Structures are given as C-alpha cells and as structure tokens.
Amino acid sequence: MEHTLLHTYDSLPKRVKKYWQQRYTLFSKYDEGIVLTTELWYSVTPEEIAVFIAKYVKHCFPQIRTVLDVFCGGGGNSIAFARLFNSCIGVDINEVNLQCTKHNAALYKLGGKVQTKQSDWLESCSEDWDNIDLIFSSPPWGGPAYTKQDIYDLNNLAPLPLKDLLISFFKICDKVVCFLPRNSNLEQLDQITRELLGEDAVCKVTIVSLDEYVKGMVCYWGEGFL
Ligand code: MGP
C-alpha cells in the first residue's frame, strides 16, 4: 500500500508528474494540505467541474438532502455535494482513498457533512440504502490510457460495465449522474439508457471543459433534469 499522500513534484511517480501543474485545478486548497494517492492524481474530478455538477443538481432538485458518491476516490465530488446539500456519503473499496476523502473534506470544513463507508460496491450495492436522493459516480476508467481508444467502450468501466453499474444504481434511486470519459461511446449510452429505462428514455449528456480543454462527459438520468 502506498503511504506517501502529501506530495511534492519530486515525490510524485513519473507517470503522474504531468498532473502536478493541475494541482490547484483539482483542489483550490491544494496548499492547505490536500492528500492524494498516485491513482487519485489522475482520477479526482477537478474542483470547478465537481462544483458545476453539484450546482446543476441543486438547480434541478433543490429539495435533495443526501447524495451517495459511489467510488468517491479522493473526495472531490463528495466535497462539492456536501457544500450544497445536507450530506454526502462517499463509498470506496480503498481505505486509503477514504482517508484522503475525510482529510480533504476537513480542509474544506465539511468533515461533518461527508460520511464515508469502506465497501466493495459489488457487495454493498444490495444493502439497504435508505433516503438516498441521488447517486453520483465517477468510476475508474482504466487509467490515463483511456484515450488510446478513439471511442471509449463503456464496458471497460470498473468494477462493472456501465449497464450493470446503472442497474445497481437504479435499484437504489431514480436520479443518477456519472462523470465519464470525453470519448465515451454515445451510441452505447443511448442503447443502455433505452434498454434500462424504456424506448422513450433519455440520458442528458454535457461535455465539460476547463480552459477550453474537454475533460469529460457528465451524464444525467432521471426525470427532472432541465
Ligand atoms: P486526463 O484525460 O488523464 O488528463 O484526465 P488531461 O491532462 O486532462 O488530458 P490529456 O489529454 O492531456 O491526457 C482528465 C480528468 O479526467 C481527470 O482530472 C479526472 O477528473 C478524469 N479522469 C481521468 N482518468 C484516467 C480517470 C479515471 O480513470 N477515473 C475517473 N473517475 N476519472 C478519471
């Protein structure tokens, strides 16, 4: 297990050094002591995007109280949801990721609003998740090599293909938001949406950019997204 969480440019492994220059984009409070594992350097959602998603959800559903962040990683999205909603529960299989989430949430003075649960989603998805108003998920895409495919096959998401992930989410809640690769296969998205929710169902897709550079795709399922 990796224990260096508070990095400098020199301590970062070579393969993730390029993300160092994005540190304030990932967390504006980076200098206050943000901690991240190597994997989290390339998988955490940049703060401005996480806040944009949370604000949009709030705009559509001001009454939401509790958000479940499945595969919460370093807590970027959990922190953004906790700023605007009553609470956010972050689930991750990796205990070190959860330590990062808790520590980083405390830096944003949101420690009390971000709860964490260590579990394997393949098991905990069938538990009783009461009072969850919306599920957010930015699942592992398979690392930075996701751009090696021109069109990203959504069956490559871990730990489950998109369709199975969504099945597990819709059992808990009818509002689901996913942050997915910018090159995700839109035809697959459309087909999966119709298979799971009916021929007339739609998935709202927004392409998100920072400084005119496309970072990913946010997909929204459920009645009421404007
Ligand atoms: P990127 O595409 O690897 O980097 O990650 P960059 O510098 O934007 O693009 P490049 O074209 O110069 O390589 C961009 C963002 O995508 C990251 O900040 C994460 O928010 C997200 N992201 C990237 N990866 C590899 C993952 C992943 O495996 N899982 C999740 N959940 N998000 C990821």
pLDDT tens digits for 67-115? 999 999 999 999 999 999 999 999 999 999 999 999 999 999 998 999 9
Decide whether any atom of ligand 1 lies within 6 Å of the 66 Cβ.
no
Quote the Cα angle for 156-82-48, to 5°: 65
Is the pTM higher than 0.85? The answer reads yes
pLDDT given for residue 2 in this prediction: 52
Taking the CA atoms of residue 32, residue 38, residue 42 and residue 47 in that order, the dihedral angle to the nearest 10 degrees is -20
| pLDDT at position 4 over 80 | no
What is the rounded distance in angstroms from the CA atom of residue 74 to the CA atom of residue 124? Answer: 20
pLDDT given for residue 226 in this prediction: 83
Residue with CA closest to ligand 1 atom 1: 144
Residue with CA closest to ligand 1 atom 15: 215
pLDDT given for residue 1 in this prediction: 43
Mean pLDDT of the chain: 96
- Residues in the chain, total: 226
Helix 162-170 and helix 186-197: axis angle, to 10°?
A: 30
Decide whether any atom of ligand 1 lies within 6 Å of the 161 Cβ.
no
